[in-house]
Each structure stands twice: as structure tokens, then as C-alpha cells.
Amino acid sequence: MKIVAITACAGGIAHTYMAAEAVKKAARLAGDEIKIEIQGAMGVENQLSQNDIEEAELIIFAVNIGVRDLDRFESKNPIVIDPGEFVGNAQKALEKAKKLAASQK
């Protein structure tokens, strides 16, 4: 599955990166293709292209604060999951995101 994710966390820089690493790890274990945009204290890293977003089968917002440039996702249906859930149990959080996405189709 092609997945794109954004991580951003009110808890600060370290939490944002932990979430990104956790999402990446879960996706790799599940055999998914993943691109992650990190919205952290250093600004936006690894920015998703419009093409990445259009092609994605699943869009995850692992955030507990607002997402920057939200208008890029206008026609899409992102699944919002607390970044803490990914850090706690990344595989479980990814499965939850997939289930939520499936139930919204």
C-alpha cells in the first residue's frame, strides 16, 4: 500500500521525530511504501509532493497539533492518529489507521 504521513507534535521536536521513525518502521514491517513529511522545529522536512499525495492510498496525520499547508489534502481523507500511539505501538497504530480508512470508504 502506498502511504504518506505527516508527523507534528505539540510535545516538541523529539516527539515529532520519534513518531516519524515509528510510522516508518511500522510501514516497513507491513511491507507498505511510505513517505513521511516531518513538520518540526526545524521547519518542514522531506516535504510531500502533490503527486505523492494524489497517489497515496492512505494518508496519515500523526499529529496532535495543526498541520501546515492543509489545503494540499483538500480532496483527500486523512486519518488522524495521535503520534503517541505510534510511539507506543507503531504496528497497532498503523492497523488502526488502515481500518479507519477502510470504514470511511
Contacts with other proteins, residue ranges (CB under 8 A): 10-18, 20-22, 24-25, 35, 40-42, 45-46, 84, 87-88, 90
82 in Cβ contact with 64 (< 8 Å) = yes
Please report how close the Cβ of residue 30 comes to other proteins at its closest, in angstroms.
15
Given 3, 4, 5, 9, the catalytic residue: 9
Q: 15 vs 72, which CB is nearer to other proteins? A: 15
9 in active site: yes
Cell 495543526, located at residue:
66
Q: 63 vs 102, which CB is nearer to other proteins? A: 63
Catalytic positions: 9
